[in-house]
Amino acid sequence: MANRRTVFYLSDRTGITVETLGHSLLTQFDGIQWRKVSIPFLDSEDKAREAAEQINLMAQLDGYRPLVFSTLVNPVVREHIQRADCAIYDFFDNFIDSMEKELGQQSSHAIGRSHGLHDNASYTRRIAAINFAQANDDGISAKSFADADIILVGVSRSGKTPTCLYLAMQYGIYAANYPLTEEDMDDSKLPKILHPFRTKLFGLTITAEQLQRIRQERKPNSRYASFRQCQQELEWQQDLYRRENIPFINTTAISIEEIATTILNRSGLKRQLYGE
Amino acid sequence: MANRRTVFYLSDRTGITVETLGHSLLTQFDGIQWRKVSIPFLDSEDKAREAAEQINLMAQLDGYRPLVFSTLVNPVVREHIQRADCAIYDFFDNFIDSMEKELGQQSSHAIGRSHGLHDNASYTRRIAAINFAQANDDGISAKSFADADIILVGVSRSGKTPTCLYLAMQYGIYAANYPLTEEDMDDSKLPKILHPFRTKLFGLTITAEQLQRIRQERKPNSRYASFRQCQQELEWQQDLYRRENIPFINTTAISIEEIATTILNRSGLKRQLYGE
């Protein structure tokens, strides 16, 4: 039976940073089944006491003390957690002291800087990019393509929409997309509407097996979801990419984050947001 | 003049984790102007040599050695960076050793676990949630509300769309939204279509000043963007929230991450994804 343990993510604010951090550390250890507990907005002594009790309880239940990843700033809250039965991996303890020395200045020890406050220009850019992705999804207007930083192309269900949204949300990129359809296949050339925007094109592809699985969930037992149909569309599409020199990426085994970052990196696009 | 320094984010994979980490640490130090350089997919000796040169160059330019946040796993790559003129804050060095002792097992030192591989159930849920948010934006169909985990309500431009998308992307939540319009105001009651779904409602609000600024960008000098119009809609909306006992959050000064996490936390919704 798998080793069962509990991990806590504690934060004064959203907990998103500490969850990302913790998750990527946990993936370095195989064969453990993790029970994950997030406690965001942990900002009072009462909540700290409750969190400590929860930690102690899980230590008893599991027979192992929980791992606690934390970005807590408030010293009173921290103290309560430190007295609990757990192994603490604190983000601030590990880096802030050494950064203070390097930078020759004290840290502000302020809570919630990373996601709480935002400068207006970045915020506006981010919202505008999300709206753009939303408005120009499956876009077939040349107007939207003219304004786009990048245009993703690919057959239906190859991952265009989530990738566009992620490019907008994380990097503030104006991403439009164009679905390659059967009608385009008949023509066997690059669709005319895309001609003026060749340099902005980036292709997505996927294995026929995975595409079939996804389409099957959407329209069970349709021609659209048949293996043969998926295979034909993909073959045609990859020929097109090669013939037209469109860079492309296979999205089968990688996450939305990885697809988006790879595209950003390979296309040389400048990010408009920076871990804001 | 502000103190000008360079920070590097180095990663074997996307760099998203290390950027999040670094950003939240940098915000603890005021008065420094950061030049931010991300080098994702740093996975060969050639690239490592180039990165080290870039670091040394910036050290000369700035007159301060750069800060380097890193999640590098490859020992050869790490060695090159360690020899460069910089202060390294390495994620793995700081935590993995102590985690190995705590867990009584070696880490896999494998690259790109956090965003690279994914289990199919989480991935499918995430994509389905994003599609749901996309399909049910400004949704006015009772069908979509029946399937939703949560329904955000609020006047036009109060932040519903990005929040729904973020809830889907980060937490796998099915989030629909319903725009409160002038027609609803005339009626001064909860729109009928929402009646069966009262328990799923969560309201967004915003200051009239901020709403005016946002609408002004969209439709300059329209009645829609007038301060008086914004104020009236917001007053009506907040009365509605109070009368109908709809929980609500003011989105004016906080980020999308913070809005989404607060809603998740206050509504007691169970997250469907966990820092995957």
Query: Rounded to 5 degrees, what angle do the CA atoms A97, A102, A106 make?
Result: 55
Give the C-alpha separation, A92 to A264, whole Å: 30
Encode pLDDT of B55-89 as tens digits. 999 999 999 999 999 988 888 999 999 999 999 99
Q: Which two tokens stand for residue B207?
A: 């200051």
Average pLDDT over residues A10-18: 88
Closest Cα in chain B, distance from residue A237 (Å): 22
- pLDDT of residue B145 exceeding 60: yes
Interface touch A24/B94, C-beta < 8 Å: no
Closest Cα in chain A, distance from residue B118 (Å): 7
Strands B150-155 and B175-180: parallel
Q: What is the pLDDT of residue A229?
A: 95
Least confident of A32-36, B20-24, B233-237, B250-254: B20-24
Q: What is the pLDDT of residue B113?
A: 53
- pLDDT of residue A84 exceeding 70: yes
Give the C-alpha separation, A53 to A244, whole Å: 62
Average pLDDT over residues A154-176: 94
Q: What is the pLDDT of residue B111?
A: 58
User: Which CATH number applies to A3-115?
Assistant: 3.40.50
Identical fold for domains B3-103 and B120-267, yes or no, is yes
Closest Cα in chain A, distance from residue B235 (Å): 24
Q: Chain A residues with CB inside 8 Å of B32's CB?
A: 103
- pLDDT of residue B49 exceeding 90: yes
**Which architecture, in CATH terms, is B3-103?**
3-Layer(aba) Sandwich (3.40)
Partner residue opposite A108 with nearest CB, options B5, B23, B28: B28
Burial status of residue A275 (CB atoms within 10 A of its CB: 0-12, 13-18, 19 or more): buried
Banded pLDDT at B115 (limits 50, 70, 90): very low
- pLDDT of residue B27 exceeding 90: no
CATH class of B120-267: alpha beta
Partner residue opposite B71 with nearest CB, options A24, A165, A271: A24
Average pLDDT over residues B84-111: 87
| Amino acid of residue B87 | A
Q: Which two tokens stand for residue A64?
A: 């192992």
Q: What percent of chain B has pLDDT over 70?
A: 93
Higher pLDDT, A169 or A123: A169
For residue B170, what is the nearest residue in chain A, using CA coordinates? Answer: A16
Interface touch B87/A102, C-beta < 8 Å: yes
To which residue do tokens 């993909």 refer?
A234
Partner residue opposite A265 with nearest CB, options B19, B21, B41: B41
Q: What is the pLDDT of residue B275?
A: 57
Give the C-alpha separation, B166 to B115, whole Å: 17
Do B258 and A116 touch, CB atoms closer than 8 A? yes
- pLDDT of residue B274 exceeding 90: no
Q: Chain B residues with CB inside 8 Å of A17's CB?
A: 20-21, 24
- The mean pLDDT value of chain A amounts to 89
Q: What is the pLDDT of residue A263?
A: 96
* Domain layout of chain B by residue ranges: 3-103, 120-267
Interface touch B261/A9, C-beta < 8 Å: no
Interface touch B161/A134, C-beta < 8 Å: yes
Partner residue opposite B28 with nearest CB, options A40, A107, A117: A107
Q: Which long-range contacts (CB under 8 A, 24 or more apart) does A154-157 make?
A: A154/A179, A154/A180, A154/A203, A154/A204, A154/A205, A154/A206, A154/A237, A155/A179, A155/A180, A155/A181, A155/A211, A155/A233, A155/A234, A155/A237, A156/A181, A156/A215, A156/A224, A157/A206, A157/A211, A157/A214, A157/A215, A157/A218
Encode pLDDT of A30-81 as tens digits. 889 999 999 999 999 999 999 999 999 999 999 999 999 998 888 899 999 9
Do B169 and A162 touch, CB atoms closer than 8 A? yes
Q: What is the pLDDT of residue A179?
A: 93
